[in-house]
Amino acid sequence: MIGWRHCSTAFAAAALLGLGAQGLAAEGSVSAQSPLSRQQAWQEAMSKLPTGAVVTSSRCNDVEIGYSNTRYYCVLTFTQPVPERPQDDVTGEGAATQR
């Protein structure tokens, strides 16, 4: 429920500032793990990012799985600009030139 509140607050702030849908960004996260190193887990997560994504936060954890074995986990949170939708041709001239 907390995430929903943050989401609605962000949309309300964008509406108050007069931002259109083109100004918003999509959010997401990717994760990866490695038995070798934290750096390897980080690089694996970075390779999963979509094109144009900007990392906004990261979190890496070392988990002891027994017998002196460690597993490394990284989660990257990112934003990505929402692609603009093409505007409809309201003049009707586009239809005439395609004939």
Which H or E element spans position 15?
helix 2-17
Domain edges within the chain: 24-82
**CA distance linking residue 19 with residue 36, whole number of Å:** 45
CA 9 to CA 6: how far, in whole Å?
A: 5
The CATH number fitting domain 24-82, selected from 3.30.1660, 3.40.50, 3.10.450, 1.20.120: 3.30.1660
Sheet containing 69-81: order of strands: 25-34, 69-81, 54-66
- Tell me the average pLDDT across 88-94: 59
Determine the pLDDT at residue 68: 86
Per-residue pLDDT tens over the stretch 51-68: 999 999 999 999 999 888
pLDDT of residue 9: 42
pTM check: above 0.75: no
pLDDT digits (tens, 9 = 90+) for 6-55: 444 444 444 433 344 445 678 999 999 999 999 999 999 999 999 999 99
